[in-house]
């Protein structure tokens, strides 16, 4: 498979940066083009006793500005990794409450051949599945997906080979 464009999804975590480094190296082996996507997810809460109209509007505006700054920083990090490797980089920072569908939309709109993203391994409650965003992308993508996990978070294997006698 020749890679013309790799989509790298990032949330700014250390694991996402490691996945970006891998995605950039894969892109270098092909046409040397990536698109990086970081989805802005604002989180709103209204404290008890808050002024109904005035403070909510300014709090919402501050939250939008906060998430926009964060996603711009995330894609800027991936862009620096790409630039250092001589890989062309486009970026997208959509606003959505659910990042999975936006990652797929961006990858499809840019004609990507592969989606690369980090995933925090399964938690104690569910050892079989990746994180919810990664799981959504993996389950719903028509584009191949490469999920990279932190080996320190991997569950030990259920089977261990016996030493030869």
Distance CA 165, CA 149 (A): 34
Q: Select the more confidently predicted residue: 140 or 45.
A: 140
pLDDT over threshold 70, residue 83: yes
Question: What pLDDT score was predicted for residue 59?
Answer: 83
pLDDT over threshold 60, residue 124: no
Distance CA 10, CA 12 (A): 6
What is the pTM (predicted TM-score) of this model? 0.82
pLDDT over threshold 70, residue 33: yes
Report the CATH number of the 6-38+60-153 domain: 3.40.50.620
Distance CA 112, CA 85 (A): 19
Percent of the chain with pLDDT over 70: 78
Q: Is the dihedral of CA 131, 30, 21, 93 positive or negative?
A: negative
Residue (of 17, 136, 142, 122) closest to 79 by Cα position: 17
pLDDT over threshold 80, residue 162: no
Question: What pLDDT score was predicted for residue 44?
Answer: 74
Residue 55: band (very low, low, confident or very high) from pLDDT cuts 50, 70, 90: low
For 110-122, b/e burial (b = at least 16 CB within 10 A) is bebbbbbbbbbbb
Cβ atoms 31, 5 nearer than 8 A: yes
Question: What pLDDT score was predicted for residue 20?
Answer: 96
Residue 73: band (very low, low, confident or very high) from pLDDT cuts 50, 70, 90: very high
Question: What pLDDT score was predicted for residue 57?
Answer: 72
The residue to which tokens 């403070």 are assigned: 55
Residue 127: band (very low, low, confident or very high) from pLDDT cuts 50, 70, 90: very low
Ramachandran quadrant class, 32 (left: phi over 0; alpha: psi -120 to 50; beta: rest): left
């Amino acid at each position: 498979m020749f890679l013309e464009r790799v989509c790298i999804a990032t949330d700014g975590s250390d694991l996402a940066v490691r996945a970006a480094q891998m995605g950039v190296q894969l892109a270098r082996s092909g046409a040397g083009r990536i698109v990086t996507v970081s989805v802005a997810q604002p989180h709103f809460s209204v404290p008890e006793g808050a002024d109904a109209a005035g403070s909510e509007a300014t709090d919402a505006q501050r939250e939008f500005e906060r998430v926009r700054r964060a996603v711009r920083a995330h894609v800027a990090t991936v862009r620096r990794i790409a630039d250092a490797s001589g890989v062309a980089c486009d970026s997208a920072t959509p606003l959505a409450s659910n990042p999975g569908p936006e990652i797929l939309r961006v990858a499809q709109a840019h004609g990507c051949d592969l989606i690369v993203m980090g995933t925090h391994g399964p938690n104690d409650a569910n050892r079989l599945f990746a994180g919810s965003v990664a799981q959504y992308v993996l389950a719903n993508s028509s584009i191949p997906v490469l999920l990279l996990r932190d080996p320190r978070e991997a569950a030990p294997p259920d089977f261990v080979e016996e030493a030869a006698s």
